[in-house]
Structure 1
Amino acid sequence: MRRSAEPDPSGEQAPHWWQRAVFYQVYVRSFADSDGDGVGDLEGIRSRLGYLELLGVDALWLTPFFRSPMADHGYDVADPRAVDPLFGDLAAFDRLVTDAHAHGIKVTIDVVPNHTSDQHAWFQEALAAAPGSRERARYLFRDGDQPPNNWVSVFGGPAWTRVPDGQWYLHLFTPQQPDLNWDNSEVRADLVETLRFWLDRGVDGFRIDVAHGMAKPAGLPDMPEYLRSVTGAQAHGVDDPRFDNDEVHEVHRLIRKVADEYPDTMAVGEIWVQTDTQFAKYVRQDELHLGFNFALVDADFDADAVRRAIDLSLEAVSRSAAPPTWTLSNHDVVRHVTRYGGSELGARRARAMALVQLALPGVVYLYNGEELGLPNVELPDWALQDPLWERSGHTDRGRDGARVPLPWEGTEPPFAFSEGTNTWLPIPPEWAGLTVERQLEDPDSMLSLYRQALELRKTHAGFSGTDIEWYGAPPGCFAYRRKGGGLICALNTSGAPVPLPPGEILLSSGPIPTTDLPPETAVWLI
């Protein structure tokens, strides 16, 4: 069912909702469990929509909830147009979308076009078919006594697995995630069918997983030796033939064409590339509406590093219609409270960076739990489930520490995340002080800071405009002003207090007892 765009009564071109939205990433397994099995689900999300409205976010991004054997927690998709029973069913998804819209919240979902599960009907058909068949042409099968090239999986180990008839198939992730062949017309048609299936059910957009993947270079040349020992989905260089090949832009033009059939829907890409020039190609007028720029994720808590990340991010979209996109954490990286030093130090710095991020023009993506100040969790070996742990020979502990379920209320695990006692990853008892319940009652909590900041960002005229200008600032500090509305954001990462810029304090990340800005503190002034 096609949706018509709402005309602007003024006759002017109104900004699209996604051009300045705050998205909230829901890691579905870890948000809220409705049936007591210890795994989050769609009904759990629906039960917490009131909280998300209270928080003040504009849209959700749901990680994969599709039918899957869960070799990579849902990013190995066996049927992209079905809900896995672990998370609910299509009726539950429809209820979630309807209720989210009633709360004024948009819903976007993950799409995983680079690969399928090895349990996908297509791959099972390929295994049963002969070399050279139509069924195998949907994937990347090759002949040879040895692997076709030296590529390694980003999870560690070889990127090729041999089947009984002697052919090899490519998998840039686990062997249970065979890569699709994007030169194949059936593969392209199937993606179009998937996009339309969910758009017809009312979704407002997509997050494209591994958006710099999909296309493979002709001849599948070897990768540089220096990259073969590096694991992680973000670990690759400009000369890595596994990613960022020019033909990938044809896939994004296809996605954009479908989205344009449904007015006011959008697509954002997970784009791990090395240069602004590479990044800019993904957000051209006929490609993705938004691109995740991970410059802030990669920046240390240092004013010069953060300013450089901001400048690079603004430059990357300066020649396109896409607004900049900001994020500090997601399910693939260490939570920023921990990255910034952990404990009270990390929390103070995380509070400061929340204000830096939310004062910037463009789009913000929050990761569930960052508004609670959750740190990474040091999990015991027995609890680890990320395929990185096994594939690296137990040298890379993986991403599970950033995926622990959220604490909602009470004084003991599972903190009302689930009615059951066992959760898919154990929740530490020391999170008793970080629950939503505790923080809602505390005006000085991280959650209260986020709520105030999101409300101001949405309603205060100081946040208008799409450009910033920098002020002179002492070493270890910076200050910028929103050129349209006049809001000033200042950050002090030095070890000593510095004079505040002129203006009335709107919000600060910590106490400001004098006319100086304390270390590890950010402030908004008007």
Structure 2
Amino acid sequence: MTSTTGVPSDATDDWWRSAVVYQVYVRSFADADGDGTGDLQGIRSRLPYLRDLGVDALWLTPFYRSPMIDGGYDVADYRDVDPMFGTLADFDAMIADAHALGVRIIVDIVPNHTSSAHPWFEAALAAAPGSPERGRYLFRDGRGPDGTEPPNDWESIFGGPAWTRVADGQWYLHLFDPAQPDLDWRNPEVRAEFEGVLRFWLDRGVDGFRIDVAHGMIKEEGLPDVGHSSATGQRQVELLGRGRLPYFDQDEVHDIYRAWRPILDSYPGGRMAVAEAWAESPQRLARYIGPDELHQAFNFDFLEATWSADSFRKVIDTALAESTIVGAPTTWVLSNHDKKRHVTRYGDGAVGLRRARAAALLMLALPGSTYLYQGEELGLPEFLDLPDELRQDPSFLRTGESRDGCRIPLPWSGTVPPYGFGPEGGADGWLPSPADWAGRTVAAQTGDPASTLELYRTGLGIRRAHPALGGGELTWLDTEPGVLAFARAGADPTGLVCVINFSGTPVKITGYGTPVVSSEPLTDADGVFELPVDAAAWFQPAAAG
């Protein structure tokens, strides 16, 4: 059921505060036309699966017209769908179906840079130095007697210099791939263009935006040297989130978001924006969030926590303290399209999967919103054995580091690759699938109470229905070393308790009530439950009286 505004009829302006958002890597989610690439019709066909999984919203990675040098994060036309993914009519049909199922849609916006195939950049290359066309980007003369040296020492996030020289001798900035030239956000034309892009997709009914490189649009005046380069043994990207860089987290970037927020607020249904932002301190990150800027920023510290009670406790405490500062709930995320899947980060194999299942229950019990990455509900590991010649990540070509292993097409059914990713008889997936994923498909796990998929379905169902979860407070409980336990109360006076065992031995659990879900089977001896190693469980305390 939808309202006349096109957003779910039960929408409230604060829906995002406790939402479970599922990230769809469009190219790898579901292939409807059989060409080996995921598409919008594929997403549309799988919406009931996502509704039944229990998510509140989908975040779609870029599906705009693009040469796909960086998986669509090199946009050539921000107002159209790339033919490999479908058409604008396909997008409209998909979002209408999603809203009818009560699922909201968040789309990626990529404002730091365009594709080198964007008409603006093509015009800039054809124009003279100092022209208005070049003024939309960051073109500069080189250093040295003949201008043969880059304008400064900035490095690309993908490795190598952040400058490329063009035929007339000038250089242009690209903090990522050379096919992704950075825009000059001090140019009013750039700002007006993206305000128009926001309205274009808001008018089509999108419920929010994930802002790519939200910290990057403004560069320090004069483009000064960093004074630190990979020649010293440490790449500049390693300073990200730990130190100041003249091309990230400049104060003026907040002017952009103060201009965007009234646009979002002018639409009904609580349209929102979440930042992919890195800053050198919690205080600077907090500046992106507030009633006059953005609604949320990703909590990457949770994703980077090591497998220990101390590490997770510190990250959770810090995030909750930050959320108090900004007056907005934190976001929790274990994996995304840029990071190695957490099954593998936690040890891979059976150990990694056990820990990933436990981490899922921990995450879903925390106050705030949760972002899931497609396939984590299936317990998918990183595909580490992907042949180098098949890798497509531009970072791999420059640094040897690849994100392709977490972008493998999703396995839906069947016993051989590509596991129902597309229609029978269709092309293989755009990246190959491992030969041993038959037991990890949606079909294989559906109905199996021991499967990771059914664990997610159960956990998400309880989270949605239980008044203690979602919003509200967290209270830590005393435990033995290596164990974390906390109570959630919310609107339910009896609350719910989450316990996770990071220690190397099973632990006895008593006094927390009845278990409602656990990542591994519990043993029960007259009300004393034993929680296995690398496991988590939720308990429902008995009602008072």
For residue 29 of structure 1, what is the aligned residue in structure 2? 27
For residue 279 of structure 2, what is the aligned residue in structure 1? 273
**1:250 maps to 2:255:** yes
1:301-332: per-residue Cα shift (whole Å, max 9, x none)?
11110111111111222122321110000000
CA contact (8 A) 2:213 2:276 kept: yes
**1:161 maps to 2:202:** no
1:271 to partner: Cα distance: 1.4
For residue 407 of structure 2, what is the aligned residue in structure 1? 403
1:490-514: per-residue Cα shift (whole Å, max 9, x none)?
1111101122152211111111114
Which consecutive residues of structure 2, in runs of 5 or more, have no partner in the other structure?
541-545
CA distance in 1, matches of 2:28, 2:275: 22
1:305 is aligned, of 298, 304, 311, to: 311
For residue 141 of structure 2, what is the aligned residue in structure 1? 143
1:492 is aligned, of 501, 504, 510, to: 501
1:210-253: per-residue Cα shift (whole Å, max 9, x none)?
11111100111111425674376994532222211111111121
1:404 to partner: Cα distance: 0.3
CA distance in 2, matches of 1:453, 1:106: 20
1:425 to partner: Cα distance: 0.5
1:215 is aligned, of 211, 215, 218, to: 218
For residue 533 of structure 2, what is the aligned residue in structure 1? 519
Tell me the SS of whatever aligns to 1:192: helix
For residue 262 of structure 1, what is the aligned residue in structure 2? 267
For residue 417 of structure 1, what is the aligned residue in structure 2? 421
CA contact (8 A) 2:289 2:326 kept: yes
CA distance in 2, matches of 1:177, 1:293: 26
2:189 is aligned, of 183, 186, 190, to: 186
CA distance in 2, matches of 1:235, 1:283: 19
For residue 91 of structure 1, what is the aligned residue in structure 2? 89
The one-letter amino acid paired with 1:77 is V
- Cα RMSD, aligned residues only: 2.0
- For residues 311-390 of structure 1, the aligned pairs below 5 Å read 311-378=317-384, 379-390=386-397
Tell me the SS of whatever aligns to 1:282: coil
The one-letter amino acid paired with 1:524 is W
- Measured at CA, do residues 297 and 495 of structure 1 come closer, stay the same or move farther in structure 2, by a change above 3 Å? same
The one-letter amino acid paired with 1:494 is S
1:274 to partner: Cα distance: 3.4
CA contact (8 A) 1:227 1:236 kept: no
1:53-105: per-residue Cα shift (whole Å, max 9, x none)?
11010100000000001110100000000100010010000000000011110
Which consecutive residues of structure 1, in runs of 5 or more, have no partner in the other structure?
none
For residue 81 of structure 1, what is the aligned residue in structure 2? 79
1:436-487: per-residue Cα shift (whole Å, max 9, x none)?
0010021110000000000000001232642111111111111111142421
The one-letter amino acid paired with 1:41 is D
**1:440 maps to 2:446:** yes
CA contact (8 A) 1:18 1:266 kept: yes
Which region of structure 1 is more displaced relative to structure 2, 238-247 or 28-37? 238-247
CA distance in 1, matches of 2:272, 2:80: 21
For residue 507 of structure 1, what is the aligned residue in structure 2? 517
1:7 to partner: Cα distance: 11
Tell me the SS of whatever aligns to 1:448: helix
- Measured at CA, do residues 232 and 428 of structure 1 come closer, stay the same or move farther in structure 2, by a change above 3 Å? farther
CA contact (8 A) 2:8 2:104 kept: no
- Measured at CA, do residues 78 and 170 of structure 1 come closer, stay the same or move farther in structure 2, by a change above 3 Å? same
The one-letter amino acid paired with 2:261 is R
CA distance in 1, matches of 2:338, 2:310: 25
1:429 to partner: Cα distance: 1.6
CA contact (8 A) 2:365 2:469 kept: yes
Which region of structure 1 is more displaced relative to structure 2, 516-525 or 447-456? 516-525
1:382 to partner: Cα distance: 1.3
CA distance in 1, matches of 2:106, 2:324: 25
1:3 to partner: Cα distance: 4.8
Which region of structure 1 is more displaced relative to structure 2, 259-268 or 169-178? 259-268
| TM-score after normalising by structure 1 | 0.95
CA distance in 1, matches of 2:171, 2:5: 44
- Measured at CA, do residues 128 and 248 of structure 1 come closer, stay the same or move farther in structure 2, by a change above 3 Å? same
For residue 180 of structure 2, what is the aligned residue in structure 1? 177
2:291 is aligned, of 255, 261, 285, to: 285
CA distance in 1, matches of 2:152, 2:470: 51
CA distance in 1, matches of 2:271, 2:444: 36
